[in-house]
Amino acid sequence: MSPIVKLIAQRVALGVGLLLAVSVLIFAGTQILPGDVAQSILGQAATPQALANLRAELGLDQPAYVRYFAWLGGILTGDLGTALTTRQEIATTLPPRLWNTLFLAFWAAIVAVPISIVLGLLAVRYRNGPIDKAISGFALASTSLPEFFIGYLLILFLAVKVQWFPSISTVYDGMPFLAKLHAIVLPALVLVLVVLAHMMRMTRAAILNVMQSAYVETAELKGVGQFDIIRKHAFPNAIAPIINVVMLNLAFLVVGVVVVEVIFVYPGMGQYLVDHVAKRDVPVVQAVGLIFAAVYIGLNIVADVAGILTNPRLRHPK
């Protein structure tokens, strides 16, 4: 077996182990939420009789470890369980929401990743000059403003004043592709503005770091142009940290967009999770938690492996 395949297999196995540990944490975490499922489902106006009926029906009387292993067994066989509140299969209600989240994250990433890397390169090329300062200033400002503030600003100007884009981004099955894209312009724009600075600054820092090296100086002395130095010598050597920060931001785009979803009424996973946490719908919270954890761990494995593949020293260990 080639060392690369072995390495990847190792990482994936580690990831699976980590995911298992996370599943224990998620399960334990959902057990210590205050309040009670039955009370949350039936609300303030619930009679003690109705509460008792519901509790018995949901099987909340069994011990926690029994429920954990039943749950884990279900997940390993592809059964995410049934939502307590709606009595619907989670495996059928969750995928559309996940798909929506990935759709929004994908388009935000498609815009944000190239722009931030190009801006980072430009900032390095014109470092400490007005272009660098302008790029950094803009990116830092946009990332310092809270998401909801940027969201409301965009709504005010682009949805209410000039009415180019809708302020609510409800998407649904059977909606034409272009209509979907049009609907998500504003939330995608907010996400781009939020993640841009981090990626751009890290790209700039990583490349600048490499620019201090002796071989860059050599390249300068032999007369290579500034752009070529960055493109041929600095960027390939800075790619591992850049991939890392890109992956981190991709993970954020998937798991961290609750506020944006609320503001733009986007039917993604975040809103789905919050609704079910509020109702103490534990199976759904657990399923979503596990998916989020899998996304994080998966993207980190990708970053890890990509980092190794781009580094000859790690690729060919002695």
Partner 1 sequence: MSNELEFLSRRVAAGKLNRRDFLGRAAALGVSAAFANSLLSSAAQAQTPVKGGLLKAGLQGGESSNVLDPALNLSQVTFNFGKCWGELLVEMSPDGTTLENRIAEEIGGSSDAKTWTMKIRKGIEFHNGKTVTAEDVKATLERHGDPNSKSASLGILAGIETMKIDGDAVVVTLKEANADFPYLMADYHLVIQPNGGKDNPNEGISAGPYKVAVNEPGIRMGGEKFANYWQGDRFGHAAQVEIIVINDATARTSALQGGQVHMINRVEPKIVELIKRVPGVTIQNVAGRGFYPFNMFCDTAPFDNADLRMALKLAMDREELLQKILFGYGSVGNDFPINSAYPLFADDIEQRKFDPEAAAAAYKKSGHSGSILLRTSDVAFPGAVDAAQLYQQSCAKAGITIEIKREPGDGYWSEVWNKQPFSLSYWGGRPTQDQMYSTAYLSSADWNDTRWKNPDFDKMVITARAELDEAKRKAMYRDMAVMMRDQGGLIVPFFNQYIDATGKGVQGWKSNPAAEMCNGHALLMCWLEA
Interaction of residue 212 with partner 1, rule CB under 8 A: no
Task: Decide whether 87 or 313 has the Cβ nearer to partner 1.
Answer: 87
Among 10, 53, 213, 226, binds partner 1 (CB under 8 A): 53
Interaction of residue 58 with partner 1, rule CB under 8 A: no
The sign of the torsion formed by the CA atoms of 59, 60, 61, 62 equals positive
Among 107, 272, 292, 296, binds partner 1 (CB under 8 A): 272
- Single-letter code of the amino acid located at 253: L
- Single-letter code of the amino acid located at 85: T
Q: Which two tokens stand for residue 2?
A: 């080639």
Cα 23-28-30 angle, rounded to 5 deg: 95
Among 17, 73, 172, 213, binds partner 1 (CB under 8 A): 172
Among 1, 5, 48, 312, binds partner 1 (CB under 8 A): 48
Cα separation, 159 vs 152, whole angstroms: 10
Task: Name 197's Cβ contacts closer than 8 Å, sequence gap at least 6.
Answer: 116, 139, 140, 142, 143
Contacts 24+ apart (CB under 8 A), 127-131: 127/204, 127/208
Q: Which helix (H) or strand (E) holds 316?
A: none
Among 28, 66, 265, 314, binds partner 1 (CB under 8 A): 265
Q: What are phi and psi of 292, to 5 degrees?
A: -60, -45
Interaction of residue 35 with partner 1, rule CB under 8 A: yes
Binding mask 66-105 for partner 1 (x = CB under 8 A): -----------------x-xxx-----x---x--------
Interaction of residue 180 with partner 1, rule CB under 8 A: no
Task: Decide whether 167 or 300 has the Cβ nearer to partner 1.
Answer: 167
Task: Name 245's Cβ contacts closer than 8 Å, sequence gap at least 6.
Answer: 198, 199, 202, 203
Among 12, 131, 159, 224, binds partner 1 (CB under 8 A): 159
Contacts to partner 1 by CB under 8 A: 33-36, 39-50, 53-54, 83, 85-87, 93, 97, 152, 155-156, 159-160, 163, 166-168, 170, 172, 262-265, 267, 271-272, 275-276, 278-279, 281, 284
